[in-house]
Chain A
């Protein structure tokens, strides 16, 4: 089956389309800035940039409703920005400062927001898959109609616990959307070299879970597929799989020289399939926005990102006392149901 394309007449307003442009651009510029701060030594350790994959989270957030949950791996900055977390708090976590979402104790890979229903930020490849199924379980148990977006990559898709989670998710009809962000490389190993049957969404059939492949460079296609998946889950029909074909422009992490693919391959993607350029051209050719409108958005984004970098530099390092906090929760605090 070919990757899902958006239907010809997308059911979105000019305002919505501009919002997708803006949200994707925020992620792109934020990540470029993060890369720059990493280069300056202000961000340390591992830092996995989301550049190229922006349409995935922006499209799915457009399909999500209030109270829906999301959980992902360590390539998480885009997910956090897309679900409305504060760029200042995210950037300050990257620099390990007290103003960060985890007070500087989590770092790039480990951020959370109860308020935005963002459950991390997990560093062990595929661990978030059963965790996401468990979040969906909690909503089913409580009897509401919320759904959980459980994101993982093509690398994680070969881990055994994914299939343990698939089995139980369908067995118990959990409202969980398994989102496979197939960016075609598990660190340096291409899907061709790692996976005998690289159509990951089809594996759901073994468990009775429906799914489909989606063009992840087309935000409208992602949104449309997301809406279908959400409707399926909300209706109590169990889990759904979206394999979203995408591409990361940067290395796996900041220290990846990316010698496993050619510069031409990356450049071709950037030139021909860039998700932000696609929306930009849609906005202009469809006269849904003027050059001036887009320039204003660019300027606004630049200001937000620069402000986040300033905040992240100026926020203090956590007090040394913080080393010893948050190890244990108060013994029997009120229920957090």
Chain B
């Protein structure tokens, strides 16, 4: 049977090309793999090989023809002994690639509406019932207990990272875990973040639930390809067949006087990635409850801790199994004049500012996001609809900040409620300096939060 040889697409972007040269003549026999023609694409001159065997019955497009559209018949291949005259050339051309308008999907983003939107429904149920027995614990101890409890409950959970085992943790978060769980489940790695993050993701593909500790998130930049390309995207790329149920954790943001390469806040970076969940707790109770949720979650979770907070003590529920769901902000303090939204160590400035503002007669509502992705925007919006003003507080840089995203959500969903522009209090737009005075100035301060609140409340 005769077949049409079509002008091929020879690059991802080629729509037409020049048929530069025929290397076969009518009547020639060709076999699979023989080069038939040279075709100039938008990028290069390519050789065009035969796929089927047969005889070149007729050349339809002569050499030197420019602008030959992809899928145009350029020659006719006949079988041995067949004549080109027998051919019915009315056959329809092969279908072109689908795409264009059909490929576009409706965005789920909410379009602006002329009506004032109603306040969203908010889940502000307490994290634990009233009367729950409590104990004082540092964030460090809370994180360790969370890991230990989950490791006791599930043999597939293990911890790997630099100095997590024999050294008992560079910041002592894994203290005691080696003694309890042994070296099969608490594993010291060499200093190879890229490699061990990849091994962790592979182990998760293989059915385990790794906790990968980075000594700090700054070092995770060596491994960010595995966090994003390997861990976050595989569930989608596999059509839901396999993903990476695991936790990447470690201290994030500035400690004190450790300079530019050890002092970056990554909340906004990881927040951007679909497929990741991003947690950044402030209190010990949240650190514990959210860590347990993170280990049980079937998705990759970036758990951003803070070295300065490790030693802070908070009340933690003294119960067997305490978890906090992702995507549920906590209102630390109710107020009516302004909403202050923060997370992680930013909460310290937010809460201090709220205390001082109260003395000036300004009532601030303080929201701790706790999880940055998924983000509880409903709680933020409901609060802003009440206070009509908002200030965000974070340690990270201003351009592409978490606060910037929150501002855009408020503008799209609660514009008519705003009585002042949202102000984002962030770290300064500089690498972290070493000098004590400069470092202090580079970080966010309580005074800056107070000034921002006064600005939005016109005081």
Contact = CB atoms under 8 A, between A and B. Distances in A.
Interface of A: 32-33, 35-36, 38-42, 44-46, 69, 71, 100-106, 110-114, 119-124, 127, 129-139, 141-142, 160-161, 164-165, 167-168, 171-172, 249, 254-255, 257-259, 263, 270, 313, 317, 320, 323-333, 335-337
B51 interface: yes
Contact of B238 (A35, A110, A161, A257): A110
B207 to A, nearest CB: 5
25 contacts: A33-B51, A36-B51, A40-B94, A100-B239, A106-B237, A110-B237, A119-B206, A124-B230, A130-B195, A130-B196, A130-B199, A137-B208, A141-B208, A142-B207, A160-B194, A164-B194, A168-B192, A257-B44, A327-B274, A328-B277, A329-B245, A329-B298, A331-B296, A335-B209, A337-B207
A175 B318 CA distance: 42
Interface in B93-145: 94-99, 102-103, 105-106, 108
Nearest to B232: A327
B201 A164 contact: no
A306 to B, nearest CB: 11
Interface in B7-54: 8-12, 14, 32-33, 35, 41, 43-47, 49, 51
A56 to B, nearest CB: 19
A131 B10 contact: no
A325 B240 contact: yes
Contacts of B51: 32-33, 35-36
A328 to B, nearest CB: 5
Contacts of A326: 235-236, 238-240
Contact of B242 (A112, A324, A325): A112
Contacts of B203: 134-135, 137-138, 141
A313 B275 CA distance: 30
Given A42-B97, A326-B235, A329-B235, A102 B241 contact: yes
Contacts of A142: 207-208
A313 B94 CA distance: 11
A292 B111 CA distance: 67
Contacts, number: 233
A130 B154 contact: no
Nearest to A250: B49
Nearest to A322: B239
B459 interface: no
Nearest to A259: B44
Contact of B199 (A39, A133, A317, A320): A133
B200 A134 contact: yes
Top 4 A-B residue pairs of the complex, sorted by shortest distance between their CB atoms: A134-B202, A164-B195, A130-B198, A138-B206
B257 to A, nearest CB: 30
Most buried by B among A127, A131, A138: A131
Nearest to A119: B205
B270 interface: no
Contacts of B44: 255, 257, 259
Interface of B: 6, 8-12, 14, 32-33, 35, 41, 43-47, 49, 51, 70-71, 94-99, 102-103, 105-106, 108, 154, 156, 158, 184, 187, 189-190, 192, 194-209, 225-226, 229-230, 234-243, 245, 274-275, 277, 296-299, 326
B298 A331 contact: yes
B99 to A, nearest CB: 8
Nearest to A111: B238
Nearest to A167: B190
A258 B102 CA distance: 35
A167 B192 contact: yes
Contacts of A39: 6, 8-10
B237 A113 contact: no
A136 B329 CA distance: 39
B104 to A, nearest CB: 9
A320 B105 contact: yes
A79 B352 CA distance: 59
A257 B207 contact: no
Interface centre among B156, B200, B237, B242 (most CB of A within 10 A): B237
Determine which residue in B43, B94, B206, B298 has the highest number of CB atoms from chain A within 10 A of its CB, and name it. B206
B306 to A, nearest CB: 25
A38 B7 CA distance: 11
A262 B290 CA distance: 60
A41 B208 CA distance: 41
B241 A123 contact: no
A8 B59 CA distance: 49
Contact of B10 (A104, A255, A335): A255
Given A41-B70, A41-B97, A127-B226, A335 B156 contact: yes
Contacts of B96: 41
A247 to B, nearest CB: 14
A69 B207 CA distance: 12
Contacts of A32: 32, 51
Nearest to A327: B274
Contacts of B103: 317
Given A46-B12, A103-B239, A257-B44, A124 B274 contact: no
A263 B239 contact: no
B202 to A, nearest CB: 2
B298 A122 contact: no
A32 B51 CA distance: 6
Given A122-B230, A138-B206, A332-B296, A270 B33 contact: yes
Contacts of B97: 41-42, 44
A332 B321 CA distance: 15
Given A40-B94, A168-B195, A327-B235, A119 B108 contact: no
Contacts of A335: 154, 156, 207, 209
A331 B208 contact: no
A59 to B, nearest CB: 22
A332 B11 contact: no
A129 B196 CA distance: 11
Given A255-B11, A324-B108, A133 B198 contact: yes
Contacts of B209: 335
Given A135-B205, A164-B194, 8 more contacts: A105-B239, A110-B238, A132-B202, A134-B200, A134-B202, A259-B44, A332-B298, A333-B298
Nearest to A150: B202
A255 B235 contact: no
B162 to A, nearest CB: 12
A127 B225 contact: yes
A114 B235 CA distance: 12
A42 B8 CA distance: 11
A129 B199 CA distance: 8
A179 B194 CA distance: 20
A112 B8 contact: no
